Amino acid sequence: AQRVTQPEKLLSVFKGAPVELKCNYSYSGSPELFWYVQYSRQRLQLLLRHISRESIKGFTADLNKGETSFHLKKPFAQEEDSAMYYCALVNDYKLSFGAGTTVTVRA
Amino acid sequence: GAGVSQTPSNKVTEKGKYVELRCDPISGHTALYWYRQSLGQGPEFLIYFQGTGAADDSGLPNDRFFAVRPEGSVSTLKIQRTERGDSAVYLCASSVSGGARYEQYFGPGTRLTVT
């Protein structure tokens, strides 16, 4: 069975500091992984997906199959990055989400 | 263009009552999904429609839950004999088609509270 684990419920960093959100997964196959973000009073939206290998809003995430991880990183956090972040894995069409990490960026 | 919309945004009902939650997907999207998000958790898959048919309803928790999409557009999630444990945010998403490579676009959710 597939599973996504986000070990940190809360993460607080200062503006300008690096931020890393951890995500580990279990999946018997070739995984396709995503990070979704939900800003205050907004809907859940896709931030990035590993197959596109893009940097979105300064965030990057590398799939490490050996460690079964897909950690999200940003070198310099901004106040507008304060949000809820969910790591997710897709099996055909079905998304499985982690429990989420609330990120607060302090001035 | 307009995104996925859901009505109502909030619904409070008494235990044992019947509720209907509505989802309007993005125009032209053939795939539609329902997820449920309980407090402190990520969304959990409930059901997937491709067109008018439910291609996968394996996430529905029990037979009190049912969903329809009669014309391949709007979908309604129906919950009979509601229980306090049904309280959650119900999310709808749609995509151009089913499959991992198609981005799912989420609606704002309906917050259901069963008292």
Give how far Cα B38 sits from Cα of B32, B45, B71, Å. Answer: 20, 12, 29
Q: Does the distance separating the beta carbons of B100 and A45 come in below 8 Å? A: no
Residues of B in contact with A32 (CB under 8 A): 100
Residue A82: which H helix or E strand, with range? none
Is the pLDDT assigned to residue B106 strictly greater than 80?
Answer: yes
- Residues B31-60: what's their mean pLDDT? 96
Residue A93: helix, strand or coil by DSSP? coil
A interface with B, Cβ–Cβ below 8 Å:
4, 9, 32, 43-46, 86, 88, 90-100
The number of C-beta contacts closer than 8 angstroms across A and B is 53
- Residues A71-100: what's their mean pLDDT? 96
Residues of A in contact with B2 (CB under 8 A): none
Is the pLDDT assigned to residue B1 strictly greater than 70?
Answer: no
Residue A79: helix, strand or coil by DSSP? helix
Q: What is the pLDDT of residue B2?
A: 84
* Percent share of chain B, pLDDT over 90: 94
Strands A72-74 and B10-13: unpaired
Least confident among A86-90, A101-105, B28-32, B97-101: B97-101
* Percent share of chain A, pLDDT over 70: 100
**How many Cβ atoms sit within 10 Å of the Cβ of residue A67?**
9
CA of B55, closest CA in chain A: separation in Å?
A: 10
Residue B84: helix, strand or coil by DSSP? helix
Is the pLDDT assigned to residue B83 strictly greater than 90?
Answer: yes
Q: What is the pLDDT of residue A28?
A: 85
Give how far Cα B56 sits from Cα of A93, B53, B98, Å. Answer: 10, 9, 11
Give how far Cα A82 sits from Cα of A11, A38, A107, B41, Å. Answer: 10, 9, 11, 18
Please indicate whether residue B46 or residue B1 has the higher confidence score (pLDDT).
Answer: B46
Q: Does the distance separating the beta carbons of B43 and A86 come in below 8 Å? A: yes
Q: Does the distance separating the beta carbons of A93 and B99 come in below 8 Å? A: yes
Q: Does the distance separating the beta carbons of B103 and A32 come in below 8 Å? A: no
Is the pLDDT assigned to residue A93 strictly greater than 70?
Answer: yes
* Percent share of chain B, pLDDT over 70: 99
Q: What is the pLDDT of residue A76?
A: 97
Give the long-range contacts of residues B82-85, CB within 8 A, separation 24 or more: B82/B13, B82/B14, B82/B15, B82/B16, B82/B17, B82/B18, B82/B19, B82/B112, B82/B114, B83/B15, B83/B114, B84/B15, B84/B114, B84/B115, B85/B114
Q: How do residues A39-82 score in pLDDT, each as one tens digit?
A: 999 999 999 998 887 888 999 998 999 999 999 999 999 999 99
Give how far Cα B19 sits from Cα of B13, B60, B64, B71, Å. Answer: 8, 15, 11, 21
Q: Which residues contact A78 (CB under 8 A, 6 or more apart)?
A: A15, A58, A105
Q: What is the pLDDT of residue A16?
A: 98
Q: Does the distance separating the beta carbons of B44 and A93 come in below 8 Å? A: no
Q: Could you tell me if B51 lies within 8 Å of chain A, comparing CB atoms? A: no
Residue B19: helix, strand or coil by DSSP? strand
Is the pLDDT assigned to residue B18 strictly greater than 90?
Answer: yes
Q: Could you tell me if B20 lies within 8 Å of chain A, comparing CB atoms? A: no
Q: Walk across the sheet containing B19-24 and list its strands.
A: B5-7, B19-24, B75-79, B65-68
